[in-house]
Amino acid sequence: MKSIIVDMLLAIALLSVWLGCAGFVRLTNALDRLHCIAFVNVGAGISLTLAVLIQDGLTSRSCKTAALLVLTLLVGAATTHAVARALYLRDGEDR
């Protein structure tokens, strides 16, 4: 039963990555594309972390994966904000 849940979580992570890639290709605005990157970070990161926690339990590998998720979310949010601000200033404030 545990392996089925882990496989489903990994499939959700893979699906979120493919969905984010499809959105990135389809959207035309650079600011909209940043949402796809954030979606992949959150969707795949949480699914992968849950899969590792269910598979291994509370081990050093699962703690490292959870720490990597938190770091990715924090750094990803700061980087996305900086890129969005730079794009906004580059395109002008005529919106």
| pLDDT value of residue 68 | 94
pTM: 0.81
Q: Give the pair of three-digit tokens for residue 6.
A: 């882990």
**Residues 6+ away with beta carbon under 8 Å from 27:** 33, 35, 36
Which residue ranges in the chain fall short of pLDDT 70? Answer: 92-95
